[in-house]
Amino acid sequence: MPRLAQGSIRTASVFSHSTFAQGAGLHWPTNGDTNPSGPIQSTPHRERDAPMFMLPRRAFQALALGVLAAVPAESGAQEPALTPARLLELSGPELDALYRQGRSVGLPAGRVKGTAILAPGTRRNEAMAAGTRLVWQGKTYDPAAGIATNRFFGLPVIKARVYQAESWLDGAPSLILDYSETSRVYARNRDEIREIGPGLYLGLMYARTTPQPTLKMYFVLESQP
Band of the pLDDT at 91, cuts 50, 70, 90? very high
Torsion, Cα of 63, 69, 71, 72 (10° steps): 180
Percentage, residues of the chain above pLDDT 70: 64
Judgement on whether residues 125 and 17 belong to the same structural domain of the protein: no
Separation of alpha carbons 112 and 224, rounded Å: 6
Comparing CA positions, the residue from 198, 90, 212, 46 lying closest to residue 221 is 198
Output the pLDDT for position 80.
Answer: 74
Judgement on whether residues 105 and 212 belong to the same structural domain of the protein: yes
What residues make up the domain containing 23?
Answer: 1-29
Whether residue 215 has pLDDT greater than 70:
yes
Band of the pLDDT at 35, cuts 50, 70, 90? very low
Over residues 165-173, mean pLDDT? 98
Output the pLDDT for position 50.
Answer: 46
Judgement on whether residues 22 and 129 belong to the same structural domain of the protein: no
Output the pLDDT for position 81.
Answer: 86
Mean pLDDT rounded to a whole number for the chain: 79
Judgement on whether residues 20 and 102 belong to the same structural domain of the protein: no
Separation of alpha carbons 219 and 148, rounded Å: 15
Whether residue 115 has pLDDT greater than 90:
yes
Higher pLDDT, 219 or 77: 219
Domain count of the chain?
2
Whether residue 21 has pLDDT greater than 50:
no
Burial of 169 (0-12, 13-18, 19+ CB in 10 A): middle
Q: Are the CB atoms for 174 and 149 separated by under 8 Å?
A: no
Judgement on whether residues 24 and 96 belong to the same structural domain of the protein: no
Residue 181 included in any domain: yes
Residue 78 included in any domain: no
Output the pLDDT for position 204.
Answer: 98
Whether residue 48 has pLDDT greater than 80:
no
Q: Are the CB atoms for 218 and 183 separated by under 8 Å?
A: no
Whether residue 213 has pLDDT greater than 60:
yes
Residue 51 included in any domain: no
How confident is the model over 128-162, as pLDDT tens digits?
999 999 999 999 999 999 999 999 999 999 999 99
Over residues 107-118, mean pLDDT? 96
Comparing CA positions, the residue from 135, 127, 129 lying closest to residue 115 is 129
Over residues 26-35, mean pLDDT? 46
CATH label of the domain that carries residue 164: 2.40.160
How confident is the model over 54-89, as pLDDT tens digits?
545 665 565 555 544 554 544 455 667 899 999 999
How confident is the model over 181-205, as pLDDT tens digits?
999 999 999 999 999 999 999 999 9
Output the pLDDT for position 76.
Answer: 54
The pTM score is: 0.66
Output the pLDDT for position 90.
Answer: 97
Q: Looking at 71-75, 100-104, 205-209, which range is the least confident one?
A: 71-75
